[in-house]
Amino acid sequence: MNQSIIKTIAFDADDTLWINETFFRDAEDQFCALLEDYLPYEECHKRLFEMEMRNLPLYGYGIKPFGLSLIEASIEITDGEVSIEIIQELIAMAKAMLDAPVQLMEGIEGVLDTLSQKYRLVVATKGDLLDQERKLEKSGLAKYFHHIEVMSDKQPKNYMKLVNHLDIAPESFFMVGNSLKSDILPVLEIGGNAIHIPFHTTWVHEQIDYEVVHDNFQAFEKVDDILNVL
Amino acid sequence: MNQSIIKTIAFDADDTLWINETFFRDAEDQFCALLEDYLPYEECHKRLFEMEMRNLPLYGYGIKPFGLSLIEASIEITDGEVSIEIIQELIAMAKAMLDAPVQLMEGIEGVLDTLSQKYRLVVATKGDLLDQERKLEKSGLAKYFHHIEVMSDKQPKNYMKLVNHLDIAPESFFMVGNSLKSDILPVLEIGGNAIHIPFHTTWVHEQIDYEVVHDNFQAFEKVDDILNVL
């Protein structure tokens, strides 16, 4: 990689800086346990995912959309038989997720410390502004970043807007993230550079079933490995 | 006002560019009509507002927080007796609000058209990124703005961040909005300039009970009036 042209390195937040997907998986498991009298586990997961996908265009990403979808799915799955106590538990689950402590990804702080001395770093995340700002604050990582960019989605056009906003050319833009679909492919499409650091759990919605091969792309096992190329 | 120092004019979005508060008031009325068997209208409004305030630090602003608070308040107000049908109606209300057509404030487009030829204009709003981006898109006003800044809150520190981000001094920053509490006072506090255009309905949470007098402050009845000073 041609390091001299790098002006800004953007880090995805959830499952790149800190653990996130695990909280959603746990909440889905709790949800299906609450509704086990109505539907087997597998089918319940499927129905919840369908509800989330149906609501995604209107709600967007994040915990509050997830909470609203949990409630709506519980009503649909039980044909309106769900108890108010269960709905209360679902609200409490969403609140607990919003209030959860931030668990940093292993090795991330050292990497940010090193890179922030050489490059301008930003956080580029989709989801909820308040929630992501709060997590960045709690994480103790805010000091390494110039600022946080919360995007409503991670389509190529959103990255184009981000790059224009950062006042740099796409080829000077570097993205580090765990989702091939959201952090890598759209960035390569606009002519940027991308590094993939997988997380052990990936939301079905973020999964792609082919291999990425591109001159501007590299994949590493651990975040520390990126210091070899940046 | 010293026009030569103005670098950027920021417009609040809800109830400055387009009507918003009216949709929330209507939804609150619907909510209290659904629960009229349990609580008189006035008391119902009060209890809902209390629930919103309790959830505000965790949820932030916007329609999705409002929807979650509607559901939680319906359970609390009815002591868990609320029917699933009512909860379904509350979810449908929140969805209808997210999907509502955008109604521009009278005269706003002409003002933006004129000002955008002389100044850099941005939207500075709190609330939900996806929702505000969607409204800006639907409104047809996007072409007048350099970009949209969605803030998690409108405290002085958030405006300081915005002004730094815009790369200008606070005295070159101009804010136009309908809320004295959110759009005017914090901007004056950081040394910026502010113009107040009241909207007929103001959320209780945004109300202040004293008059604002400040060198950098002006108030107008209609948005067109600002063309006399800018």
Q: What is the rounded CA–CA span in Å between residue B154 and residue B173?
A: 15
CATH number of A21-98: 1.10.150.240
For B167-207, how does the pLDDT look when each residue is reduced to its tens digit (9 = 90+)? 899 999 999 999 999 999 999 999 999 999 998 877 777 77
Residues of CATH 1.10.150.240 domain(s) within chain A?
21-98
For B149-168, how does the pLDDT look when each residue is reduced to its tens digit (9 = 90+)? 888 889 999 999 999 888 89
Residues 115-144 of chain B with CB under 8 A from chain A are 128-131, 133
Contact with chain B for residue A79, Cβ under 8 A: no
pLDDT at residue B39 greater than cutoff 60: yes
| Cβ separation B58–A147 shorter than 8 A | no
pLDDT band at B210 (very low <50, low <70, confident <90, very high): confident
For residue B126, the distance in angstroms to the closest alpha carbon of chain A comes to: 10
* Partner residue opposite A87 with nearest CB, options B64, B85, B87: B87
For residue B99, the distance in angstroms to the closest alpha carbon of chain A comes to: 7
Joined together, the tokens standing for residue B3 give 């026009």
- The contacts of residue B46 (CB under 8 Å, 6+ apart) are none
Contact with chain A for residue B213, Cβ under 8 A: no
Asked if A216 and A2 count as a contact pair (C-beta separation under 8 A), the reply is no
Q: What is the value of ipTM here, to two decimals?
A: 0.88
Q: What is the CA radius of gyration of chain B?
A: 19
Q: Which of B43, B34, B61 is nearest to B181 (CA)?
A: B61
Sign of CA dihedral A51, A55, A61, A65: negative
For residue B91, the distance in angstroms to the closest alpha carbon of chain A comes to: 8
For residue B211, the distance in angstroms to the closest alpha carbon of chain A comes to: 30
pLDDT at residue A227 greater than cutoff 60: yes
Joined together, the tokens standing for residue A149 give 């960019």
Give the pLDDT confidence score for residue A129 in this predicted structure.
84
Contact with chain A for residue B71, Cβ under 8 A: yes
Q: Which CATH class is domain A3-18+103-228?
A: alpha beta
pLDDT at residue A117 greater than cutoff 80: yes
| Cβ separation A129–B152 shorter than 8 A | yes
* Partner residue opposite B91 with nearest CB, options A72, A88, A91: A72
More confident residue, B165 or A72: A72
Size of interface A-B (CB pairs under 8 A): 77
> What type of residue is B142?
A
Contact with chain B for residue A167, Cβ under 8 A: no
- The contacts of residue B67 (CB under 8 Å, 6+ apart) are A68, B90, B91, B93, B94, B97
* Burial class of residue A9, CB neighbours in 10 A (0-12, 13-18, 19+): buried
Give the pLDDT confidence score for residue A210 in this predicted structure.
77
pLDDT band at A5 (very low <50, low <70, confident <90, very high): confident
Pairing of strands A147-151, B8-11: unpaired
State how far the alpha carbon of A174 is from the alpha carbons of A19, A129, A224, B211, B227, in Å. Answer: 21, 22, 16, 49, 43
Q: State which of A26-40, B120-134, B148-162 shows the largest mean pLDDT.
A: A26-40
For B74-111, how does the pLDDT look when each residue is reduced to its tens digit (9 = 90+)? 999 999 999 999 999 999 999 999 999 999 999 999 99
**Averaged confidence pLDDT in chain A:** 93
Residues of CATH 3.40.50.1000 domain(s) within chain A?
3-18+103-228
* Burial class of residue B100, CB neighbours in 10 A (0-12, 13-18, 19+): middle
Contact with chain B for residue A92, Cβ under 8 A: no
